[in-house]
Amino acid sequence: MFRNLTEEEKENKYNEIINYAQKVKNKSLRKVCLEILTDFKKELFTHAAGHDAIENIKYTKTHQCFDGGWLDHTLNVTRNAYLIGTTYEQEVDMDLILFGAILHDIGKIKIFDPWNEDNDIKSNLNYSYLLVDHVYLGEQLVEIYLNKENISEKLKYQALHIIATHMDTMKKHMAEAYIVSYADSIDATIENIISYPRNQINPLLNSYMYESVNEDK
C-alpha cells in the first residue's frame, strides 16, 4: 500500500543514493550529482515519484505516490541500473549509468504541489507537468549544473541524453540510456504490483495480478 516513509527511512535511502553518487569516477559528473542531491535535499525528502490521478483521466503508469517516493524510486532505479550495468561493464560506461539513474527524475521535484481538490486540475500536479513534464524540467536543471563544469560538449550531452530519453519520448542512441530506461520501467511496474492487493484487478496496470504461491518450499 502507498505509505509515507519515516524520516529515518528517507535518510537511509538518501545516504544510499549518495553512496552510489560517490562511485562516479569522473570528477565533474560526481560533483554535479552530489551538488544536486545536496542543494535539493529538502525537496527530495518531501516529493513523491508518482502522482494522484486527475479526475476523470485514467493514468496507468503512476508509481510511488507517497511522501519520500522520489527517494524510494530513485534508489531502486539506481540499484537496478547498477546491477544491469555490472553485467555489461566491459562495454558500458558506469559513470553515465549512475549519473543518469540518480538524476533521471530530478525534474519531478518541480511538478508536484500538495494535493488539493480545489486546484484547477484536482490533483497534486501543477501545470508545468501538463505543459512540459518532468523530463524537460530535469534536463534544464542538470544542464545548468553541467555548464559550470569543465567537461566536453560530448560528455555533457551524453549525460543529458540519458535523462532526455528515459521515458521513450525521444529515440535512444546509447546502451546506457536503455539500461537506465529499463531500470526505471522495472521499478515503476513492480512497485505498482506490490503496492496493491493481489488476486484482483490492479487499477494502475488494468490487469489481474495473482499472489504468487509456492507451497513446495
# chain residues binding Fe ion, by CB under 5 A? 2
Residue 72 found at the interface with Fe ion (CB under 5 A): no
Q: Answer for the pair 101, 84: CB distance below 8 angstroms, yes or no.
A: no
DSSP state of 6: P
Instruction: Decide whether 28 or 74 has the Cβ nearer to Fe ion.
Output: 74
Phi, psi of 73 (to 5 degrees): -65, -45
In three-state secondary structure terms, 206 is coil
Near Fe ion by CB under 5 A, which window of 15-23, 100-108, 156-164, 204-212? 100-108
Instruction: Decide whether 95 or 184 has the Cβ nearer to Fe ion.
Output: 184
Which cell numbers in the block locate residue 4? 509515507
Q: Pick from 184, 191, 192, 204: which binds Fe ion (CB under 5 A)?
A: 184
Smallest gap from Cβ 105 to Fe ion, in A, equals: 4
Instruction: Decide whether 105 or 191 has the Cβ nearer to Fe ion.
Output: 105
Burial letters for 117-138: b for 16+ Cβ neighbours within 10 Å, e otherwise?
Answer: eeeeebbbbbebbeeeebbebb
Smallest gap from Cβ 44 to Fe ion, in A, equals: 13
Near Fe ion by CB under 5 A, which window of 39-47, 141-149, 157-165, 180-188? 180-188
Instruction: Decide whether 28 or 76 has the Cβ nearer to Fe ion.
Output: 76
The residues, any chain, with a CB within 8 Å of residue 62's CB and separated by 6 or more, are 50, 51, 52, 53, 192, 204
> Torsion angle of alpha carbons 81, 83, 88, 93, nearest 10°?
50
Q: Pick from 105, 139, 176, 191: which binds Fe ion (CB under 5 A)?
A: 105
Q: Answer for the pair 53, 61: CB distance below 8 angstroms, yes or no.
A: no
Q: Quickly list DSSP for 80-125.
A: HHHHHHHHTTTTS-HHHHHHHHHHTTGGGGGTEEEEETTSTTSEEE
Smallest gap from Cβ 135 to Fe ion, in A, equals: 6
Instruction: Decide whether 69 or 158 has the Cβ nearer to Fe ion.
Output: 69
Residues 112-151 that bind Fe ion (CB under 5 A): none
Instruction: Decide whether 28 or 139 has the Cβ nearer to Fe ion.
Output: 139
User: Interface residues with Fe ion (CB under 5 A)?
Assistant: 105, 184
